[in-house]
Structure formats: structure tokens, C-alpha cells
A and B are shown apart, each in its own frame.
Chain A
Amino acid sequence: MSDLNLLYTDVEDDLRSSVRDLVAARSEPATVAAVYDGDRSVVDPLWRAIAGDLGLAGLLIPEERGGAGASAREAAVVLEELGRSVAPVPFLTSSVVATTVLLAAETGGAADELLAGLAAGERTAALVLPLSAGPGEETPGFTVDGEGRISGSARSVAGALEADVLLVPVRTEQGTAVHAVPAADARVEPVVSLDMTRQLADVTLDGVAGQELLAPSAGGDAVRAGLEVGAALLASEQYGVAQWCLTTTIAYLKDRRQFGRVVGGYQAIKHRLADLYAAVESAGAAARYAAATTAEGDPDAVVATAVAQSFVSDVAVKAAEEAVQLHGGIGMTWEHPAHLYLKRAKADQIAFGTPAAHRARLAELVDLPAPAA
């Protein structure tokens, strides 16, 4: 609980500007909305630009392993911007979650080449677990036979459609191992998803050969670390979503007139927005604290993450729901981007553990036990 810096450094501000400029230039809400109608042509160029041109895919990878050697703080800033623009790119799933899992592998091993490829933005990875799985909920759906062939399936996996390599948690008697499997060898079936800007897929492996990157002695912890960091930094994405909803709604309500008055001048509306502002500001602090503790390896990170997921998830959904309601009729249309944010916010709320699951986890961490059954 040290007094970590919860503001943004100049470097982080610069990073934010470059992400914002790039996304604004390449990904307008209308082009993003096209993914719901099956047109995913925006995804690949945008991801290449972010991962390769800006070099952000390797943020969390140390310099000696080919990355930028940045920290969770910077990755969180990127996620704030990607949330603000509901950008349909696999930064969270590949550059945060899968990367964190791989970083648990020792230097000099088989994971190095893959990490270098990820850092260069040439490769994209996905951890094959349901997007809903939170820390502690990482039950692998795969097994391996005596010849090293992996079989099994996982539903609702995020980032698999964009990935060329799948990180498959495999259940063994000694624990969870993590194998790398070429995506081309797996059956990856797109799912019609609540949030098509992070489209899910069902992944099935039927006796596919993989390469063991993490042994059963290390894989379980690595997967858990990936989900922990994913949950921590998802809060920053959710904060970005919430901020967009708040600022867009306020701008609209300053303009929209009914009964001869600006709608934003009615006290019933103003007070709702004041409450939402208070919630979104608080969400920003909670997300920043989770990112800062994660970046520092602070022992409070696990509490900070559970707090952030419990709080910010709900604020993002609230902000998106208020955006729809306070826009009135236009908020209910396909044409207005509010629905993109509502769908992202609701899916994010369930992703990496529901708020209720995080509160249950938190109760144990801070010694506030649930009633005996």
C-alpha cells in the first residue's frame, strides 16, 4: 500500500497521444461497427500498425528478450486508449495475457523465439481459455497423450481468431503445462459474440502435436499470472470505455434541446451525470492503482486487481447504459456508436472473472469471510 504514483508520466502521456492519433486515423466507429456485419477488414491493418509500427506488442517484454522493457503502467495507458475507441485488436489477449504467460518461461528456452516474434509484432498469440475465466478459474480443457498429442476444447476464447499461435494449458497429473500449437492446426470456429470488437472463437484440438513451453511445475502459476495481469489491466480498458461514454453523453446533452431548453440543463440529468462523473473518476484511480501495483510487483497488486475488477467493471457498464439512455432514441440505433461501447462494457464485465467472483476472492484476501454454509 505504498504511495505509488497514480498520475501519468510525460512518457505515458506521449504514448497515449501516439495511440490516440493512430486509432483515430485508422479506426472510426463506423468502420468498427462493420465487424458486426462480418467485415473484419479493419482488424488486421490496425493491429499491424499498433503492434508493429508503434511497436507496442512488445511493451511488457524485457529488452534482453527483444521487447521494449516497459511496464504494466504503459500497457494500461494503451488499453485506456483502445477502450476509448473500442478498437478491435488483440493487444490485451496477445501482448498482455499470452505475453505474461510466456515471460514465466526461462530465458534460453523454447519460448524465446516466440517472445521475439511477439515483440516484433510479427506474431500474435492467444491463451486458450474462455474469456470469462478469472484468476483461480483456470481449469484447462485439454489433455496430452503419451506421444505429445493434445486433444480437447475450449469455448469462447478471445484473441484466437487473430492469433497464429495458441498457448494451450494442458492438464497433467503433475499440474498444468503450457504448449504452443500453431493456430493453423487447430479448429478455430468464430462465435457470434456479444462484443464483436473482441470476437470469440471455440477452439478444438484433435490430437495435435504441440511444443511444451512451460512444464507442469511452472505452467499453472504462469497461466494464473497471465489472468491476474489481464484482469488488472482490463480495468484500464474499462476506464477508457467509461470515459468515452461520459464525455460523449455530456457533449450530446449540451447540444440537444427539448422543451426549449438544453437537455443537459435539467437537474434530473445533471445529477445523474454528476454521480457518473464521480464514479468514472474513481474508476480511473482504481484502474491506475491496479496498474501501478502490478508494474511494481507490489504485494498489494492482487487486492488492487480484485478491487479494480469489482468496481471498474460495473462503472463501465453503468456508463454505457447511461450513455444509451441519456442519448434517447438515437442511443438505441445501430448508427450511433453507443451500442459498441455497451456491448464491450458488458462483455468486459464478465471477462477475467465477474465482479462478484472478484469480490469473493477479495473477501478471502482481506479477511472478511463469507458466512459459513
Chain B
Amino acid sequence: MTTTDPRAVEEDLRQRVTDFLAAHDHTTMDRLEFLRARYDAGLAWVNFPVGHGGLGLPRSFQTQVDVQLAKAGAPDNNPRGNGIGLGMAAPTILAFGTEEQKKKFLRPLWTGEQIWCQLFSEPGAGSDLAAVSTRAVREGGDWVVNGQKVWTSSAHKAQMAILVARTNPEVSKHAGLSYFLCNMDAPGVDVRPLRQITGEAEFNEVFLTDVHIPDSQRLGDEGQGWKVATATLNNERVAIGGGGGGRESGMVGVLSKTWREHPERRGAGQHDKLMRLWVDAEVARVTGQRLRQKLAAGEPGPEGSAMKLTFARIAQEASGMELELLGEEGLRASDWTMKRPQHVDFTGRDATYRYLRAKGNSIEGGTSEILRNVISERVLGLPSEPRVDTGIAWKDLPR
């Protein structure tokens, strides 16, 4: 498809989907076979190149395909079940992988045959991700990995992981990293639930002990790990905080519902606070709408980080206020049992859960403090923080 006329592209794409559906009857076909065929037809992610599940079109054409297939009742690849794979691993593999790696990993990733997780953060490397100390040492054709990762969602369900490890401690911290694709069923991978503030365990700790990774699963050059990881992280920001829901779709919607249901609990001070939060949430909704319009128009959107800052603050204030509003009821929690949630819904469960889970919103995906650094330095062009960790070998850094 070389034409640039959007209408012609739309029409061509519609025809492709129609032809595909005619040739593949999802009512009789095995679900996985159907999804693999969809991938091979270039209808998985149209912005990916031909041969890798796409057609080399702008990302904006994807919705049309998804809608047309959904209307026909075709099964999808359950994208919610593989958020890290689709949102972070795939674009990174596409950008840095060899042809062989793309061929091997992208299709089972897209179909959901392989769920992915992210082995980045460590107990000693949170905001300072480049300080990771998990070591990968070359041994023949393999890398042998030892270390501990943390805050790994889906690790207990995943078959594959993207992993950042230190391959050279003798150079500065950013220069000594490499990026790997790690099999989660490899010997030495030990996944343990990380019980969190809500009582349940969304996340995991992952202990890596003499885990062998073939060199063919190194993504990018040795020592290029930071550059590859940055590409991964850039793909993370867009999703969080962008929202896209309607009015009252977030935590303030829950709070508003509680307000309406409990006239007896209303107070003047609380009303003022409620209205301020309602306004903040509505403005955030409109700001997100404008951000998406800018992205669609090809304008870069530096508001991404600002959106996430705002989202976290509103979620925390609104969920805290909801508990106060509930009064005596707010003192009662429903369940502290250790569980493995299937889905994470920030506005789900009960008020206690919402209040506690929202605490993570200003920490995960970049703390609010780091985001303020990002905004002030990369958007506003203010000087970066004075650094004591540059120009010095990682092994010599104080820790």
C-alpha cells in the first residue's frame, strides 16, 4: 500500500479485512489459528512492517481494523492480558531486534501464546534504573544471569521477559548494560509473589540464579542496554494517565456516586473539596482529549508526563476523601486475604482498596518526583540535576 490518500487506505483496508474474514471462518476455526492467520495477513498491528503482522501504515488505522473484526464477532488477542508484551516488549523488539528475533518472538507475543513481563526494577534500582546490579556474564554461547528483580507484574503468568542486566561493571553505569529476552521457564528463575499494601499480590519478586540466556536472545549490542531500555520506557508513558474515559469515569466518578447515595453524610467543607476534585478531573479529561488530538495530528505531546502527575494526585485525593465521606463505613475493610488478582482496576473493589492502591499511582511508571524532573528538564529546558554518578565506573559508585 503506497497510496497516501487516507480514504483510499481506509477502503483498501476494509477490503482486506472483508477478504480475510471470507477466507477464515472464525466460527469454525481454532481461535489461535485464526489469530495467527490474522497476524500473517498483516492485520495484527497495521503500523508494524509487512511480514511482522502489519502493513506499514500509520497506527491510527488500527482502530478501523479492530472494530470491523469485532463487529464480525471475531475473537481478539485479549490485549489486556499481555499489556507489557504488546505495549513495551513488541515495539522494542521491532526497533532493535534482528530479523530472526522478530520472526521468532513477535507472532506468539501478539497472539497471546507468550505473555511477557518486565525485569527492570531492582531493590537498589528504582528511579535510578541505570544502577541495576543484576549481572550477566558470558559463558560460551550463553549469558549467565544472577540478581534480583522486583515489582514485576504478570511474572507468575509470563513465558517471556524483557531483562536489563549489567554486562560490564568496569565502565560507567549507563555504558555497562545489555538487554535480553529471557525465558521465564528457564532453570534458576524463581518467581515469588510480592504482597502489597492492599493485602493482595499483583506484583512479584523475581530471583535469578545462574539463569542461562543464549546470546541469540540479546536485544541490541552488548553495552547498548540503556538505549534499548529507554525505547521501552518511552512506550510506557503514553498509556498511563492518558485515560480516555468519559466524564466521571475515574476515581472522582466513584466519589460522586458515593456523594449522591449518602445525603446524610454531606458537609459544606466536603462539598467544596468534592467540587474542586470534580473540576480537576473534568479538566484532566479534556486535557487528555486534547493530548490525543495532538498525537493524532502528529504533534508531539509533552503533556504525557503532566497528565500522569495530575491523574495520580486526583486519584489519591478523591479516594482519600471517599473514605472520610463514608465515616464509620470507611473504617471497615472488606478483605485483607492474600490473593492474585486477575485484573487490576484502580476504581474497583471497595473504598479501602481504592485508597491504598492509589498510593501506587504516584510511584509506578515513574514517581511524581521523577516526572517533575522530566517535565522541567525535557519540556521546559531547565538544567538537569547535578550528577555524582557520571564518568565513573559502576563498580566504584558509592552504594
Chain A residues with CB under 8 Å of chain B are 1, 3, 5-7, 250, 253-254, 261-262, 264-265, 267, 269-271, 273-275, 277-278, 281-286, 288-289, 303, 307, 310-311, 356, 359-360, 362-363, 366-372
Contact = CB atoms under 8 A, between A and B. Distances in A.
Contacts of B259: 368
A358 B259 CA distance: 19
Nearest to B299: A7
Given A1-B247, A270-B372, A281-B287, A371 B271 contact: yes
Interface in B270-301: 270-272, 274-276, 278-280, 282-284, 286-287, 289-290, 293-294, 297, 299
A285 B290 contact: yes
Nearest to B266: A371
Interface residues on B, range: 35 or more
Given A270-B377, A271-B369, A285-B283, 19 more contacts: A7-B290, A254-B383, A265-B383, A265-B384, A267-B373, A267-B385, A271-B376, A282-B283, A286-B282, A288-B286, A289-B289, A303-B282, A307-B282, A311-B280, A360-B275, A367-B260, A368-B274, A370-B268, A372-B266
A117 B83 CA distance: 61
The B interface is mostly helix, strand or loop, or mixed, namely helix
Contacts of A267: 373, 385
B290 A273 contact: no
Interface string B350-375: 00000000000000000001011101
Contacts of B256: 366, 368
A310 B382 contact: no
A285 B383 contact: no
A282 B383 CA distance: 24
Given A307-B279, A368-B274, A270 B306 contact: no
Given A278-B310, A371-B271, A6 B380 contact: no
Contacts of A360: 275
B309 A278 contact: yes
Interface in B302-340: 303, 306-307, 309-310
B141 interface: no
Contact of B283 (A3, A250, A311): A311
B263 interface: yes
B379 interface: yes
Nearest to B247: A1
Interface of B: 246-247, 256, 259-260, 263, 266-268, 270-272, 274-276, 278-280, 282-284, 286-287, 289-290, 293-294, 297, 299, 303, 306-307, 309-310, 369, 371-373, 375-377, 379-386
Given A367-B260, A370-B271, A275 B309 contact: yes
Nearest to A3: B289
Contacts of B282: 286, 303, 307
Contact of B284 (A264, A282, A369): A282
A262 B260 CA distance: 51
A187 to B, nearest CB: 40
A359 B270 CA distance: 13
16 contacts: A3-B289, A250-B380, A265-B386, A267-B373, A269-B382, A274-B309, A274-B375, A277-B306, A278-B307, A282-B284, A288-B290, A307-B279, A307-B283, A310-B275, A359-B275, A359-B279
Contacts of A371: 263, 266-268, 270-271
A225 B278 CA distance: 25
Contacts, number: 136
A310 B279 contact: yes
B371 A274 contact: yes
Contacts of B260: 367-368
Contacts of A250: 380-382
B373 A270 contact: yes
Contacts of A261: 383
Contacts of A372: 263, 266
A278 B306 contact: yes
Contacts of A253: 382
A1 B379 contact: no
B284 A274 contact: no
A307 B267 CA distance: 21
B289 A286 contact: no
Contacts of B379: 277
A285 B282 CA distance: 10
Contacts of B297: 7
A1 B276 CA distance: 20
Nearest to A253: B382
Contact of A273 (B268, B276, B380): B380
A98 to B, nearest CB: 29
A210 to B, nearest CB: 40
A283 B287 CA distance: 8
Given A254-B382, A370-B266, A363 B275 contact: yes
B375 A311 contact: no
B243 to A, nearest CB: 12
A262 B380 CA distance: 14
A24 B287 CA distance: 29
Contacts of A303: 282
B381 A254 contact: yes
A286 B289 CA distance: 11
A286 B373 contact: no
A11 to B, nearest CB: 16
- List 5 A-B pairs, minimum CB-CB distance, nearest first: A265-B383, A270-B376, A278-B306, A371-B266, A274-B372
A360 B271 CA distance: 9
A80 to B, nearest CB: 15
A115 to B, nearest CB: 33
Contacts of A368: 256, 259-260, 271, 274-275, 278
Which of B263, B299, B372, B385: most chain A Cβ within 10 A?
A: B372
A246 to B, nearest CB: 9
A366 B306 contact: no
Contacts of A271: 369, 372-373, 376
A372 B306 CA distance: 37
Nearest to B259: A368
A359 B303 contact: no
Given A7-B290, A363-B271, A372-B263, A282 B279 contact: no
A9 to B, nearest CB: 11
A274 B385 contact: no
Contacts of A310: 275-276, 279
Contacts of B303: 278, 281
A281 B302 CA distance: 10
A366 B247 CA distance: 10
B278 A362 contact: yes
B293 A5 contact: yes
Contacts of A274: 306, 309, 371-373, 375-376, 380
